[in-house]
Amino acid sequence: MVRVNGNYSKLQSSYLFSEIARRVKAYAATNPPREIIRLGIGDVTEPLPAACVEAMEKAVREMGRRETFRGYGPEQGYDFLREAIAENDFRARGADIAPDEIFVSDGAKCDTGNIQELFSADVVVGVPDPVYPVYVDTNVMAGRTGGFTDGRYGGLVYLDSTEANGFVPAPPASGPPLDVVYLCFPNNPTGATATREQLAAWVDYARANKALILFDAAYEAFIRDDSLPHSIYEIPGARDVAIEFRSFSKTAGFTGTRCAYAVVPATCRAYDADGEAVFLRPLWNRRHTTKFNGVSYPVQRAAEAVYSEAGKAQCRALVDLYLGNARAIRAKMAALGHACVGGENSPYVWVKVGGSSWDFFDALLREKQIVTTPGAGFGRCGEGYIRISAFNSPEVVAEAMARL
């Protein structure tokens, strides 16, 4: 008899963005009075930067000629891309990361979901609340939690991110020490950012408690405040206690193209049952080479082009366009009397609406034909908020704001 993984029965019935898509589809079938505007899931709308398109076209032509054709590439990514990443994303910011510490992949969602395979079933996992659901659901699937009651899974440690702490939780001063903690800055969903001092407190905590930080920096390209760190590795000591995740999805419009990477420094460690340190890079390399065959050559060439002079300028313009939308959304919601976070160094605006966030979501859909994301979908502390995404054209965002 084939038995299913019983942990799946603990999961909420559907993934947040699937549930939203279901509700929008059902509403769309009722012939709404005007076009539905989508400011829900953080999916980009603007075309790929020209530098990326040119590089991809050239690479596709190489694949069409016998002399330049390539089959399987290195699972970890081609050296040309790993070197460009190390140089531009880390060394240029004073962070000591080498190309062979970078693992190119097809998405930060997959990487942040898969990484927990490296840890034992009984590690104590900390997640912020509100939280990107992937961190939670993948640990549920792996059997690290109890059931779901009152908006939370038993066995996880939830770190409240609320107005009281500026939406940036500090390391816990009491309770069980965390073994693994997920942090995401600029944050999804709140758009909050963490200062150098706040990240340093987490690095100190991880070092003191032999813990590991899983740092999701998928939105770092939106940082415009020069005082804010872009990478956890800008914090001294982080190399030993942190894995970082990056993505080309929001930086360069790659949501449909698929390219991302994880950084596992050579000195980053966990511990075995005897308390002996075990380096994580060889483990992740083992997993990656066993379960993944690499990102396609044309896509890696397109990602490399992000770091060309033209690519840098085009990506910055792309991100600036979405940041302009974010400013407009925040200004409008503030003018309507809502307290807001994010939208300054982030594409997401976290808007306080009071009351049920699913009710607010449904009302915006029915009355204004605007899709947002209900804060409660990200966790208990998200109740009373909605997240508005700036990923759309300025014209569409202006139309949405006019409707409000």
Contact residues toward ligand MLT (CB under 6 A) are 41-43, 109, 188
Note the residue count of the chain. Answer: 404
* Pick 19 or 43: Cβ nearer ligand MLT: 43
Place of tokens 């994580």: 280
* Pick 21 or 41: Cβ nearer ligand MLT: 41
**Of 138, 118, 134, whose CA–CA distance to 17 is shortest?**
134
What CA–CA distance (Å, rounded) separates 12 from 378? 12
Q: How many angstroms separate the Cα of 325 from the Cα of each of 164, 207, 319, 349, 396? A: 27, 39, 10, 10, 9
Write out 156-197 in H/E/C secondary structure. CEEEECCHHHCCCCCCCCCCCCCCEEEEECCCCCCCCCCCHH
Q: What's the closest the beta carbon of residue 40 comes to ligand MLT, in angstroms?
A: 7
Residues 6+ apart with CB under 8 A from 226: none
Q: What's the closest the beta carbon of residue 378 comes to ligand MLT, in angstroms?
A: 8
* Pick 42 or 229: Cβ nearer ligand MLT: 42
Its sign, for the CA torsion 152, 125, 213, 114, is negative
Give 362: exposed, middle or buried? Use CB within 10 Å, 0-12, 13-18, 19+: middle
Are 378 and 130 a contacting pair, CB within 8 Å? yes
Other C-beta atoms within 10 Å of 334: how many?
Answer: 14
Give 279: exposed, middle or buried? Use CB within 10 Å, 0-12, 13-18, 19+: middle
Q: What's the closest the beta carbon of residue 310 comes to ligand MLT, in angstroms?
A: 26
3-class secondary structure, 244: strand
Q: What's the closest the beta carbon of residue 188 comes to ligand MLT, in angstroms?
A: 5
Q: What's the closest the beta carbon of residue 288 comes to ligand MLT, in angstroms?
A: 20
**Of 7, 246, 283, 274, whose CA–CA distance to 106 is shortest?**
246
Are 288 and 76 a contacting pair, CB within 8 Å? yes
* Pick 41 or 142: Cβ nearer ligand MLT: 41
Q: What's the closest the beta carbon of residue 107 comes to ligand MLT, in angstroms?
A: 8
Q: What's the closest the beta carbon of residue 389 comes to ligand MLT, in angstroms?
A: 6
Q: What's the closest the beta carbon of residue 149 comes to ligand MLT, in angstroms?
A: 25
- Tell me the two tokens of residue 51: 């530098």
* Pick 41 or 53: Cβ nearer ligand MLT: 41
* Pick 113 or 151: Cβ nearer ligand MLT: 113
* Pick 188 or 300: Cβ nearer ligand MLT: 188
* Pick 205 or 378: Cβ nearer ligand MLT: 378
DSSP 329-393: HHHHHHHTT--EEESSSSSEEEEE--S-HHHHHHHIIIII-EE-EEGGGG-GGGTTEEEEE--S-
- Residue closest to ligand MLT, measured at CB: 42
Q: What's the closest the beta carbon of residue 390 comes to ligand MLT, in angstroms?
A: 11
* Pick 190 or 198: Cβ nearer ligand MLT: 190
Q: What's the closest the beta carbon of residue 182 comes to ligand MLT, in angstroms?
A: 14
* Pick 43 or 204: Cβ nearer ligand MLT: 43
Q: Is the peptide bond before 347 cis (omega within 30 degrees of 0)?
A: no
